[in-house]
Amino acid sequence: MERPIFQPVGTPVEELDTPALVVDLDLMERNIRTYQGYFDGTGVTVRPVVTSHLCPQVARRQLAAPGSRGVAVTTVGEAEVFAAAGFGDILLANQVVTASKIRRLCALASGAAISVAVDSADNVAQLSQAATAAGVELGLLVEIEAGLGRCGVPPGAEAVALAQAANAAAGLRFRGIMATVPGPAGDDANAHAGQTLQNLQAAIDAKDLLESAGLAVPEVSVGGAHCYAAAGELPGITEVRVGRYPLMDVRLQAYLPELSLAAVVLSTVISRPAADMAVLDAGHKATGPDMGRPVLQGHAGATAARFSAEHGVVDLESGALQQSQDEAQDGGLVPGAKARLAPWELAACVNQYDYIRAVRDGKLEGYWPLSARGRFA
Amino acid sequence: MIDSQTPLPGTPMEELDTPCLVLDLDALDANMDVIADYYRERPSKLRGHSKNHKTPAIALRQIRRGGTVGGVCAAKVSEAEVMVHGGVPSVFITSEVVGELKIRRLCSLAGQAEVMVACDSPANAHALSQEAAAQGVDLGVVIELETGLKRCGVQEIGQGVDLAHDIASLPGLSFRGIMSHQVIPAMPDREDRVTEGNRVIKGVIDLKDAIVESGLPVEIVSTGETWSYDVAGEIPGVTEIQGGSYLLMETHYGYMTEFSYAAKVLTTIISTPRPGIAIGDAGARAVGTLRGMPEVDARPGVTIESMDGDHAVFRLSDGASLRPGDQVLLIPAQQDAMVSRWDRFVGLRRGKVEAVWDIQARGCHN
């Protein structure tokens, strides 16, 4: 477990012990209002994917803002944490197939509205049997494959058969369909938007198909933080599952530049072994760079060039060196100075911490537990 | 804390909820014994790096089995605290520690066990001395030398000699020796590793000789890692080797066949949506993909096609089949960044749970 120095509320952010995952609350709250505001008047609601930030305190603020309801999780362990934290509407947007986990899921359904995704008839039968035995009701969403190449069935006869099975099974309530579309691959936002519309069509096709087979489809839930514009344009979509917009990361900001990087890893320069480099106390373990390197903020010309397990190396060449030396007395990257690293991929970064240091106006407001961290199972 | 994830001893692997970080205890013990046997009669010893496993139970197990100096390395102050509180009598922090608060914690720890820390600048040495003297403790200091990693460390011999004298003259500090860390690309051929090891470690010996010549004794010469455990260990003058990866192992070091894969992620198939494809419930968040995809253990015809945050996509060929509920073991490309995501190791022997160890220093970044 993280063993931070718990500094008092009001401590200036520059004095926090590092590495630390710091969230600017003003930026976070603005991001939440901006993003959820996209859906004003569209009839589409936002279901926050809390897997992206693992923090009930963040999720509470998402649900408190207009335009959202319930939360989505990826694992039974995450569902347990959020149910214990008082969240009453939880969608496990994933398949749960083993007896032990299905029992855990049913146990939660006695105190919260629990829904789960299915993509096989065997799994529907398993869930029905367990829910009946536990005396609870599980909501069921049939997962439609929408370009991700992962779980789900295509919009066709199999989807209809699954929905009918779910509709007829004891202990289950058929709630509709869900689909997850792929994230951006390149950096062409327009091409990505077009591709997203095309992928989302699979969910609409499935809904039409199910309805023409006589089934009511109350929910069409689609995932992907970048697909808000498309989701608003496609009639029939009822819910968007998104996670990264409150805290953001560099990868998503390329597509949603109007949202701010509210989460950064605060780190400290521990060595200036040569004139053109500064070594930081944050490496792989403190930043989670699996999908891409974190980006140094606020030091023009300097770049966080290399990371190893425990260290980051800042390249001070090309102009920043001079600036840094000039500013040696007032905040250049000298030993002891702080550096801010914006995560490339939020989920991989928060996964490494136990607390968010919540900050407002540059001062510490509190430690927010990342209660669902490590709940992979 | 809600804990539904600590299985009872005797539980068969098939009943574990997944993803689960499992530890093959036969493999772990065999890896420990390679080290114990190798260093038994040699003057140099291992100071195992606890940053890899972050678990006092594992650190103490290697110390009991032999081949070590009787202590560990740690990367961070908070990690060192966990090791000391867990009963490890000697800890060497292989990173520079700066900042008043952190140095205060470091010095407090030096009052509880033998604690040493890396240093590469006179300003840092003075900061360490001031706090150690104020607390009335003795803090061991080891000079870091840069030998190719292009990270921390003094850049040349003269700088190191001057710093050694600075440290030796400062109250609260003991000058203990020197260290340097090196990584190399995969070198399956031991002769290549011998050549490369001798080349990069020569600078460390040169610095040691220069400090000794200038009139200061150098007790500790700490260098090397898993790839050079049997190279650095042969170089006269080297007293400690900093290996860590050998214990849990990873495909990156697969060429070192004397070590066995001990740490694996157990995953369950949750969907078989298309012919030839199966989806597992462990993804990049649980395994880490920074140094490449994990490998599938002992399932011929099953390979990883892709991995996202919480899913693995397996491709099935050559008649291989997987059904929902089946389990697959994944061997990481790099164990270090994988372990730092987990709360516990589930130790298995012959397919049953034998011990569950909390990864107590998980998340100890500061």
- What is the predicted ipTM? 0.94
Q: What is the rounded CA–CA span in Å between residue A326 and residue A299?
A: 13
pLDDT of A330 above 50: no
Alpha helices by DSSP H, chain B: 25-39, 56-65, 77-85, 100-110, 122-135, 157-169, 190-213, 229-232, 245-248, 284-287, 336-339
Q: Which of A149, A290, A352 lies at the smallest CB-CB distance from B289?
A: A290
The interface residues of chain A toward chain B in range 9-28, judged by CB-CB distance below 8 A, are 17-20
The interface residues of chain A toward chain B in range 200-259, judged by CB-CB distance below 8 A, are none
Alpha carbons within 13 angstroms on the beta-carbon side of residue B282 total 30
Cβ contact A377–B18 (<8 Å):
yes
CA angle B232/B235/B238 to nearest 5° reads 75
Q: Tell the burial category of B125 from Cβ atoms under 10 Å away from its Cβ (0-12, 13-18, 19+).
A: buried
Express each pLDDT in A39-74 by its tens digit. 999 999 999 999 999 999 999 999 999 999 999 999
Cβ contact A348–B309 (<8 Å):
yes
Would you state the pLDDT for residue B2? 53
pLDDT of A225 above 60: yes
Would you state the pLDDT for residue A227? 75
Q: What is the rounded CA–CA span in Å between residue B340 and residue A124?
A: 36
Alpha carbons within 13 angstroms on the beta-carbon side of residue B310 total 23
Tokens of A334: 């000298």
Chain A residues lying within 8 Å of B324, measured CB to CB: 95, 97, 120, 122-123
Tokens of B189: 């051929």
Least confident segment among A115-119, A331-335, B280-284 = A331-335
Which of A335, A333, A263 has the alpha carbon at shortest distance from A305?
A: A333
Tokens of B94: 């292989």
Chain A residues lying within 8 Å of B155, measured CB to CB: 273-274
Average the pLDDT over A293-311 and give the result: 92
Whole-prediction pTM: 0.95
Residue A185 pLDDT class (50, 70, 90 cuts): confident
Tokens of A358: 């919540």
Q: Which of A1, A18, A100 lies at the smallest CB-CB distance from B15?
A: A100
Tokens of A332: 């250049």
Residue A328 pLDDT class (50, 70, 90 cuts): very low
- In degrees and rounded to multiples of 5, residue B235 shows phi and psi of -85, 120
Omega into B9 within 30° of 0, i.e. cis?
no
pLDDT of A146 above 90: yes
pLDDT of A316 above 60: yes
What are the Cα distances from residue B357, in Å, to B50, B82, B353, B362? 14, 14, 11, 12
Chain B residues lying within 8 Å of A372, measured CB to CB: none
Give pLDDT tens digits along chain B (366 positions).
556 678 999 999 999 999 999 999 999 999 999 999 999 999 999 999 999 999 999 999 999 999 999 999 999 999 999 999 999 999 999 999 999 999 999 999 999 999 999 999 999 999 999 999 999 999 999 999 999 888 999 999 999 999 999 999 999 999 999 999 988 888 999 999 999 999 999 999 999 999 999 999 999 999 999 999 999 999 999 999 999 999 999 999 999 999 999 999 999 999 999 999 999 999 999 999 988 999 999 999 999 999 999 999 999 999 999 999 999 999 999 998 899 999 999 999 999 999 999 999 999 999
Report whether B200 contacts B179 (CB < 8 A).
no
What rounded mean pLDDT belongs to chain A? 93
Pairing of strands B240-241, A363-369: unpaired
**Which stretch of DSSP H or E encloses residue A166?**
helix A157-168
Chain B residues lying within 8 Å of A306, measured CB to CB: 150
Cβ contact A3–B364 (<8 Å):
yes
Average the pLDDT over A96-111 and give the result: 97
Q: Which domains does chain A have, with CATH numbers?
A: 13-21+258-369 (2.40.37.20), 70-246 (3.20.20.10)
Q: Which of A95, A311, A376 lies at the smallest CB-CB distance from B151?
A: A311
Position B133, amino acid: A
Report whether B290 contacts B334 (CB < 8 A).
yes
End-to-end CA distance of chain A: 18
The 10 Å Cβ neighbour count of residue A165 is 20
Determine the 3-state secondary structure of A339 from DSSP: strand
Q: Give the single-character DSSP code of A318.
A: T
Would you state the pLDDT for residue B4? 61
The interface residues of chain A toward chain B in range 258-277, judged by CB-CB distance below 8 A, are 268-274, 277
Would you state the pLDDT for residue B199? 93
The whole-angstrom distance between B41's CA and the closest CA on chain A is 32
Q: What is the rounded CA–CA span in Å between residue B70 and residue B83?
A: 12
Tokens of B96: 């520079």
The whole-angstrom distance between A285's CA and the closest CA on chain B is 6
A-B Cβ pairs (cutoff 8 Å, strict): 197
Would you state the pLDDT for residue A233? 80
pLDDT of A325 above 80: no
Q: What is the rounded CA–CA span in Å between residue B97 and residue B91?
A: 14
Would you state the pLDDT for residue B109? 98
Which of B80, B112, B84, B111 has the alpha carbon at shortest distance from B94?
A: B80
Alpha carbons within 13 angstroms on the beta-carbon side of residue A183 total 15
Chain A residues lying within 8 Å of B341, measured CB to CB: 351-352, 374, 376
Would you state the pLDDT for residue A329? 39
Tokens of A43: 């009839």
Chain A residues lying within 8 Å of B149, measured CB to CB: 308
Q: Which of B99, B281, B337 lies at the smallest CB-CB distance from A336?
A: B99
